Amino acid sequence: MTSSWKSFARLGAGACALLAAGAAPALAALGAPLAGAGADGSVTVSAHSLRAGAAPGLSHATVLTASGVTVQEYAGADGVVFALSWSGPTLPDLQRLYGSYFPSYAAARDARAPGAYRAPVRLRGAQLVAHAWGHMRDYAGSAYVPALLPPGVDLASLGVQP
């Protein structure tokens, strides 16, 4: 077993322990409050304020969905999610993650050339910047809302593709 699979297995075991302990589900959409969790079966693995090198007042939450996807959510001082990244063995519910910004993403996804369903999705719009890529059992992506981006935030240091 490779080291990445071992750490994934440990993360999965930790998530099961959190589920058994009755941890509160939490998965916020872009533009929604970080604390705005729904009853979607996801579990907050960690939540904390960002300090070193980050703009003041930023918050970060790591969420593990029921399907094994790890979602990193970033919120500004106002508590609103301005960026997120995700990775896992399946595609997450992007409509849930992107919230009211999903129609922009879906339009970019659907505008790809015929037969290019495996090609990465790249959207660089005024309302949403999103990237999604992957193949069976290895999917990843990131998105952010330019209008919500706090000044001084380095997206690359957060793991969000600019």
Q: What is the pLDDT of residues 100-117, one digit of tens each?
A: 999 998 988 888 777 777
The pLDDT of residue 37 is: 47
The pLDDT of residue 30 is: 95
The pLDDT of residue 25 is: 43
Separation CA 34–CA 68 (nearest Å): 20
What's at 123, amino acid-wise? L
The mean pLDDT value for 65-79 works out to: 90
The pLDDT of residue 54 is: 56
The most distant pair of C-alpha atoms in the chain lies apart, rounded to whole Å, by 47
The pLDDT of residue 108 is: 85
Separation CA 140–CA 2 (nearest Å): 19
In the predicted model, what is the mean pLDDT of the chain? 78
User: pLDDT tens digits for 113-130?
Assistant: 777 777 788 899 999 999
Weakest mean pLDDT among 15-24, 42-51, 73-82, 120-129: 15-24
